[in-house]
């Protein structure tokens, strides 16, 4: 009996050639699965490509809501950003796609799953490790990693087997996109000294070309999750779509970085993530209002750990479960509204309020309504500075004189 494989199918060249290759070279019956995480492609078009490439069956899963609610928003609550700039769009979608692959594989009685990742990137790790975590019995086949074809050879293979490919021969970039952001690499970007050409950006206008008048948006959060825009309750997907559009129009969300891949390579990536960048700024501002200093300090460390875990493909792990429990606990009172100004590439928090605010005007103010007991300050300083004075006396060192 022919074994079945479920292939993560995007409709692009790699996965189209992979459909045929898995069938011809490996003898599989290929089920093409497209998981929609906000990729702006037409279902009918993707389906017809898959079938023309030789798939026995096509499955489409709309996972947009799941993606935002269960992957992107938890990462937002955690404050997960990799190496200071990458808001992890691609990395967050991989475990979800892997879970869908496993799901469909079980429903279809398939013995293997497949994906179109190369052997040099992080995504292969994320797909493989996630699949192993969820279904260790499934075989994983990665045609692009296994075959010995470069892009030209793939195009030739496609032509030879009359597989329809969008002749994006001229798009010099490798692009991955979903609701949480857009990742762009390859082409001239491989030279980290080269400024990215204007055409790499699609979701954001150049900050200098953005409107002179700023836009303001009020983002409402409940327990760390965004729930409204300008006072109107908004579901996760429309909320992210709207912010991608609005912040993108004002040039917010671009990043140009050299990052460290898990597989040991430094690579240059461009990102566009208008909604993610805006939401992260707003969320952080609300935490500053509602979390204690100690909570914020530890949480900032956990944020790093969380970002690493997402980046490194460890979503389906006990380690993640533990960190997620901590993060969720910290969000109990992260409820309120943040006003953000979007202007010429910057998302700037200009206002925040919360029913759970720890900010106390009567303590902070310098006016006459001041409730802070300043007579207690010298005593506090006396004790706080005690070990410093003791050490200064007992171990006076020349270079401590401040010069
Ligand atoms: N470097 C990012 C990551 O590892 C994005 C890779 C996405 N691929 C692309 N074609 N740009 O998550």
Does the annotation mark 174 as catalytic? yes
Mean pLDDT along residues 207-236: 98
**Which helix (H) or strand (E) is 178 found in, with range?**
strand 174-178
Q: Which residues of 39-61 are buried (b: 16+ CB within 10 A; e: fewer)?
A: beeeeeebbebbeebbbbebbbb
Rounded to 5°, angle at Cα 251 from 248 and 255: 95
Mean pLDDT along residues 38-53: 91
Q: Please give the pLDDT value at position 370.
A: 86
Question: Among the atoms of ligand 1, which is closest to the Cα of residue 262?
Answer: 4
State the residue for tokens 């204690």: 292
Query: Which residues have a Cβ under 8 Å from the Cβ of 198 and sit 6 or more positions away?
Result: 206
Mutational test site, ligand 1, from 80, 117, 122, max ligand atoms within 8 Å of CB:
122
Q: Please give the pLDDT value at position 219.
A: 98
Distance (Å) from CA 352 to ligand 1 centroid: 34
Is the CB of 269 within 6 Å of ligand 1? Answer: yes
Residue 344 has pLDDT above 90, yes or no: yes
311-321: pLDDT as tens digits: 999 999 999 99
Mean pLDDT of the chain: 95
Please say whether the dihedral angle defined by the alpha carbons of residues 133, 135, 141 and 142, taken in this order, is positive or negative: negative
How many Å is the Cα radius of gyration of the chain? Answer: 25
Is the CB of 175 within 6 Å of ligand 1? Answer: yes
Chain-centroid distance of CA 313 in Å reads 12
Measured CA to CA in angstroms, residue 302 lies from 75, 144, 299, 328 at distances of: 11, 35, 5, 12
What span, in angstroms and rounded, lies between the C-alpha atoms of 252 and 373? Answer: 43
Q: Please give the pLDDT value at position 372.
A: 87
Residue 166 has pLDDT above 90, yes or no: no
Mean pLDDT along residues 168-190: 88
Residue 168 has pLDDT above 80, yes or no: no
Overall fold of domain 4-171: Rossmann fold (3.40.50)
Residue 333 has pLDDT above 90, yes or no: yes
Contact 6, 113 (CB under 8 A): yes
Q: Please give the pLDDT value at position 165.
A: 79
Query: Which residues have a Cβ under 8 Å from the Cβ of 2 and sit 6 or more positions away?
Result: 27, 28, 29
Distance (Å) from CA 77 to ligand 1 centroid: 22
**205-258+272-353 belongs to which CATH class?**
alpha beta
Residue 368: exposure state from Cβ atoms within 10 A (0-12, 13-18, ≥19): exposed
- Stated pTM of the model: 0.95
Question: Among the atoms of ligand 1, which is closest to the Cα of residue 183?
Answer: 11
Q: Closest by alpha carbon to 178, among 46, 42, 64?
A: 64
Is the CB of 184 within 6 Å of ligand 1? Answer: yes
Q: Closest by alpha carbon to 117, among 136, 95, 97, 143?
A: 143
Q: What is the DSSP letter of 197?
A: P
Sorted by where each begins, the domain ranges of the chain are 4-171, 205-258+272-353
Does the annotation mark 369 as catalytic? no
Q: Please give the pLDDT value at position 167.
A: 59
């Amino acid at each position: 009996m022919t074994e079945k494989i479920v292939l993560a199918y995007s409709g692009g060249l790699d996965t189209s050639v992979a459909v045929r290759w898995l069938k011809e070279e490996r003898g599989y019956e290929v089920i093409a699965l497209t998981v929609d995480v906000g990729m702006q492609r037409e279902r009918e078009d993707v389906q017809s490509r898959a079938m023309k490439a030789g798939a026995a069956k096509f499955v489409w899963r709309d996972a947009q809501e799941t993606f935002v609610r269960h992957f992107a928003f938890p990462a937002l609550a955690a404050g997960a950003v990799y190496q200071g700039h990458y808001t992890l769009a691609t990395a967050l979608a991989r475990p979800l796609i892997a879970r869908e692959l496993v799901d469909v594989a079980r429903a279809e009685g398939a013995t293997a799953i497949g994906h179109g990742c190369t052997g040099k990137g992080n995504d292969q790790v994320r797909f493989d490790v996630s699949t192993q975590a969820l279904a260790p019995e499934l075989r994983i086949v990665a045609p692009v990693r296994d075959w010995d074809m470069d892009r030209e050879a793939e195009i030739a293979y496609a032509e030879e087997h009359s597989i329809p490919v969008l002749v994006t021969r001229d798009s010099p970039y490798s692009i991955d996109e979903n609701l949480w952001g857009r990742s762009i690499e390859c082409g001239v970007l491989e030279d980290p000294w080269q400024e990215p050409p204007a055409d790499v950006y699609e979701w954001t206008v150049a900050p200098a070309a953005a409107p002179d008048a700023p836009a303001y948006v009020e983002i409402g959060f409940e327990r760390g999750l965004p729930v409204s825009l300008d006072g109107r309750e908004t579901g996760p997907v429309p909320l992210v779509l709207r912010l991608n559009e609005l912040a993108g129009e004002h040039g917010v969300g671009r990043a140009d970085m050299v990052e460290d891949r898990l597989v040991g390579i430094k690579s240059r990536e461009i990102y566009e993530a208008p909604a993610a960048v805006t939401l992260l700024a707003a969320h952080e501002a609300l935490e500053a209002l509602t979390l204690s200093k100690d909570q914020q300090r530890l949480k900032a460390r956990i944020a790093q750990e969380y970002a690493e875990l997402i980046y490194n493909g460890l979503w389906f792990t006990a380690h993640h479960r533990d960190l997620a429990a901590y993060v969720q606990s910290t969000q109990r009172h992260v409820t309120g509204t943040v006003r953000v100004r979007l202007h010429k590439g910057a998302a700037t928090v200009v206002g925040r309020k919360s029913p759970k605010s720890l900010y106390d005007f009567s303590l902070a103010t310098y006016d006459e309504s001041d409730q802070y007991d300043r007579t207690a300050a010298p005593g506090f300083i006396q004790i706080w500075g005690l070990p410093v004075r003791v050490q200064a006396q007992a171990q006076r060192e020349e270079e401590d004189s401040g010069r």
